[in-house]
Amino acid sequence: MTRVQGQSIGRELPTASAGEAPRATVVGSYVELTKPGIVKMVLLAAGVGYVLGVRSMTTAEVSPSGTGFLVAGLFGMIGTALSAGGANALNMALEPHRDAKMARTADRPVPSGRIATKHAMAFGLALSVLGVATLAIGASVAAALVCAAIIVSYAAMYTPLKPLTTLSTLVGAAPGALPSLVGWCCATAAFAGKAPWYGGLTDAGGWSLVALMFVWQVPHVMAISWKYREQYAAGGYRVLPSIDPDGRRTGMAALVWSLALVAVSLVPIGALQQDGVPMVGMLYGVVAVLAGGLMVWTSLKLYQRRDDGAAKALFIASIVYVPIVMFALVADAFAPAVLS
Q: What is the DSSP string of 288-331?
A: HHHHHHHHHHHHHHHHHH-SHHHHHHHHHHHHHHHHHHHHHHHH
Closest CA to 296 of 333, 335, 257: 257
Q: What is the CATH number of domain 21-198?
A: 1.10.357.140
For 239-292, how does the pLDDT look when each residue is reduced to its tens digit (9 = 90+)?
A: 999 999 899 999 999 999 999 999 999 999 999 998 889 999 999 999 999 999
- pLDDT of 63: 60
Q: Where are the domains of the chain?
A: 21-198, 203-340
DSSP-based three-state secondary structure for 230:
helix
pLDDT level of residue 65 (50, 70, 90 thresholds): low
DSSP-based three-state secondary structure for 76:
helix
For 66-88, how does the pLDDT look when each residue is reduced to its tens digit (9 = 90+)?
A: 667 788 899 999 999 999 999 99
Global confidence as pTM: 0.88
Same fold, 21-198 and 203-340: no
CATH of 203-340, one of 1.10.287, 3.30.70, 1.20.120, 3.40.50: 1.20.120
Residue 274: DSSP 8-state: E
- pLDDT of 25: 86
Q: What percent of the chain has pLDDT over 90?
A: 77
Ranked by mean pLDDT, which of 99-108, 146-155, 188-197 comes out on top? 146-155
For 11-60, how does the pLDDT look when each residue is reduced to its tens digit (9 = 90+)?
A: 333 444 444 445 548 899 999 999 999 999 999 999 999 999 989 887 65
